[in-house]
Amino acid sequence: MRYSQLYTKTLKVSKSYRSVNATLLIKGGFIDQTMAGVYSFLPLGLRVLNKIEQITREEMDKIATEVLLPALSPKKLWIQTGRLNTVDVLMKTAGANEISKSKNTNEYVLNCTHEDVITPLVQKFNTSYKDFPVALYQIQSKFRNEARAKSGLLRGREFRMKDLYSFHVSESDLKEYYEKVKAAYVKVYERVGLGEDTVVTLASGGDFTKAYSHEFQTLCESGEDLIFFDETTNTYYNKEVAPSQAPAIDYDGQQHELKEVYGEHITGIDALVKFLQVPATKCVKTLIYQTETDEVIVAAVRGNYEINEIKLRNVVGCNELHLASEAAVKKTTTAQLGYAGLLNLPAGIRVFVDESIKDHINFECGANKDNYHSINVNWGRDVQKPEQFYDIKVAQVGDLNPANGKPFQVKKTSEVGNIFPLGTKYTKAFNYTFTDQDGQEKFPYMGSYGLGTSRLMGVLVEKFHDDKGILWPSSVAPFQVHLVSLTGGEQAAQKLYQQLTAQHIDVLWDDRAVSAGEKFAAADLIGVPVRLIVSAKTGEQVEWKKRAESTIELISVDELLNRLDAKKL
């Protein structure tokens, strides 16, 4: 394609966006920002997106069948699964003006995922064990009511997604299929050029299963995630589920006198650290939670950690957990929010203490009294030492791997896919049963598998760029070669363009009447893997340069065609 016919322009003056991917993709004319988190794909960007989606489609076609589900769905489906009021990014629609509302007052859900749509669909068709397994996927736009959307294609309010749903007669059948999907995902990442740097990571199974779900995480310096590598089992964990052991703290061993310090309106670790002049590591963070049965429990962790509600839920043995209401906090601690501690708690209340404070001495915690904090608290002397300590914290950099007591290898990553063994959560919600071989009515087992195709495009840019622009892997590059014609080379370029096109090689020919420098800058920014120059000086030959390398070679057209042979690229 001729540059002059391609609807795009690398923008000379482009404002900088917070993310590298948005900045480069907008500057390069791949996408345009319609609003925060919502992008238009221009021809150059659509070419890349289409290549990513076609690779995804080809791998999915080997294990599933493609469908196209709608973006809208009736609220009643989401009410039936209990998700209408709990999915925190869910959007709904309504008439945009009075005339529209007067014609149709209904509101619909704008889907961010499709379990709630596909389960009743499959329920209509698949009612006998003979009808399983079922595996349907689609590639389309999804919607999330994101609070902030500052990461370009990594976190969109509207984004492209491949989602696959599978249904099985048994948990073992689901597990077997789940491994097939994992392998298909690995293949997709390999094909788009992320194979070596993408790892399968254990993640939370969500609130409906104690099994792990799996994330595919790409190692990436600008990544927003942290993953923890356990070399003893060769396992990656995301920070939600990584087991963690806090590093030890040096103590002088001397117990000091327990005191209550008055600090009016001083709440929260940061304020305390400043006010008491103690390090956060010597503070204890105490939080009051309620379970689904309204049991009030207490959790405590070293001050520089966060409580991990997933780990805590497992330890408590409950299904739901939320921070206690103000009234419940008052009843438990006799104080307002912000002064909870471990002293003088009501008898019989269950207290879960993280291992990070097992050996603490002279520590700080709330005094369970308005405006007061206890300092120099010591286990045994001031408060009974728990029989058992737990791991209920969010892992962080510097933590030790409990398996071997050595510091964790922690890596920055960007998530490029996740898969969930859903079990029977949704089939039960829709009372969807099938007749098994033994004549029994059973709930099908279900898995769901997501891969954000536009997000993947963003991760590729985050991963493959330098200070001049993007370096696309050839499988997803918008073109195979970027042909630059300089003064005197127009006719040779025209001829070469025709030759390459006849060989079905995707060429972007910069035929503009602009300076050589401008053309080179555009080529570097757009990031096609191979740049060719034809000029008065190159004669019968062509100047060859790979985007990722600095070597420039003068080669014959025959050699060029040989190098561009699809099988060799």
Residue 456, amino acid: L
CA separation, residue 394 to residues 9, 223, 308, 310, 340 (Å): 45, 18, 5, 9, 20
**Smallest separation, CB 455 to its own copies (Å):** 15
Quick one: which of 62, 72, 128, 359 contacts its own copies (CB under 8 A)? 72
**Does 88 interact with its own copies (rule: CB under 8 A)?**
yes
Kindly state the DSSP code that residue 304 receives in the 8-state scheme: T
**Does 54 interact with its own copies (rule: CB under 8 A)?**
no
Nearer to its own copies, 109 or 227 (CB): 109
Interatomic CA distance for residues 485 and 474, integer angstroms: 22
**Smallest separation, CB 147 to its own copies (Å):** 4
**Does 98 interact with its own copies (rule: CB under 8 A)?**
yes
Nearer to its own copies, 134 or 174 (CB): 134
Contacts to its own copies from residues 151-210, by CB under 8 A: 157-158
**Does 97 interact with its own copies (rule: CB under 8 A)?**
yes
Residue-wise burial string across 153-186, b where 16 or more C-beta atoms lie within 10 A, e elsewhere: bbbbbbbbbbbbbbbbbeeebbeebbeebbebbb
- Per-residue HEC secondary structure of 252-284 comes to CCCCCCCEEEECCCCCCHHHHHHHHCCCHHHEE
Contacts to its own copies from residues 3-42, by CB under 8 A: 5-9, 32, 34-35, 38-42
C-alpha dihedral sign at 436, 438, 439, 442: negative
**Smallest separation, CB 220 to its own copies (Å):** 25
Quick one: which of 67, 183, 271, 548 contacts its own copies (CB under 8 A)? 67
**Does 82 interact with its own copies (rule: CB under 8 A)?**
no
**Smallest separation, CB 37 to its own copies (Å):** 9
Q: What are phi and psi of 188, to 5 degrees?
A: -60, -45
**Does 404 interact with its own copies (rule: CB under 8 A)?**
no
Contacts to its own copies from residues 284-313, by CB under 8 A: none
**Does 100 interact with its own copies (rule: CB under 8 A)?**
yes
Interatomic CA distance for residues 566 and 480, integer angstroms: 9
CB-CB contact of 375 with 259 (8 Å): yes
Interatomic CA distance for residues 545 and 289, integer angstroms: 61
Q: Rounded to the nearest 10 degrees, what angle do helices 171-191 and 43-61 cross at?
A: 140
Interface pattern 533-552 for its own copies (x via CB under 8 A): --------------------
Quick one: which of 20, 48, 55, 90 contacts its own copies (CB under 8 A)? 90
Interatomic CA distance for residues 290 and 316, integer angstroms: 11
**Does 94 interact with its own copies (rule: CB under 8 A)?**
yes
Interatomic CA distance for residues 361 and 378, integer angstroms: 5
**Smallest separation, CB 551 to its own copies (Å):** 34
**Does 63 interact with its own copies (rule: CB under 8 A)?**
no
Interface pattern 107-146 for its own copies (x via CB under 8 A): -xxx------x---x--xx--------x-x---xx-x-xx
| Total residues interacting with its own copies, rule: CB under 8 A | 63
Nearer to its own copies, 102 or 388 (CB): 102
Quick one: which of 68, 327, 347, 502 contacts its own copies (CB under 8 A)? 68
Interatomic CA distance for residues 305 and 282, integer angstroms: 11
Give residues with Cβ within 8 angstroms of 569, minimum separation 6: 474, 480, 529, 563
CA separation, residue 120 to residues 216, 252, 426, 550 (Å): 29, 64, 9, 56
**Smallest separation, CB 70 to its own copies (Å):** 5
Choose the stretch contacting its own copies; rule: CB under 8 A; options: 60-68, 323-331, 439-447, 464-472. Answer: 60-68
Nearer to its own copies, 112 or 342 (CB): 112
CB-CB contact of 20 with 457 (8 Å): no
**Smallest separation, CB 42 to its own copies (Å):** 6
Cα–chain-centroid distance for residue 473? 21
**Smallest separation, CB 190 to its own copies (Å):** 26
Quick one: which of 103, 504, 567, 568 contacts its own copies (CB under 8 A)? 103
**Does 327 interact with its own copies (rule: CB under 8 A)?**
no
Interatomic CA distance for residues 161 and 143, integer angstroms: 10
Choose the stretch contacting its own copies; rule: CB under 8 A; options: 102-110, 204-212, 319-327, 522-530. Answer: 102-110
Give the number of other CB atoms < 10 A from CB of residue 314: 16
Contacts to its own copies from residues 354-373, by CB under 8 A: none
The DSSP secondary structure of 487-533, one letter per residue, reads TT-HHHHHHHHHHHHHTT--EEEE--SS-HHHHHHHHHHHT-SEEEE
Residues at the interface with its own copies (CB under 8 A): 5-9, 32, 34-35, 38-43, 46, 49, 65-74, 78, 84-100, 103-104, 108-110, 117, 121, 124-125, 134, 136, 140-141, 143, 145-147, 157-158
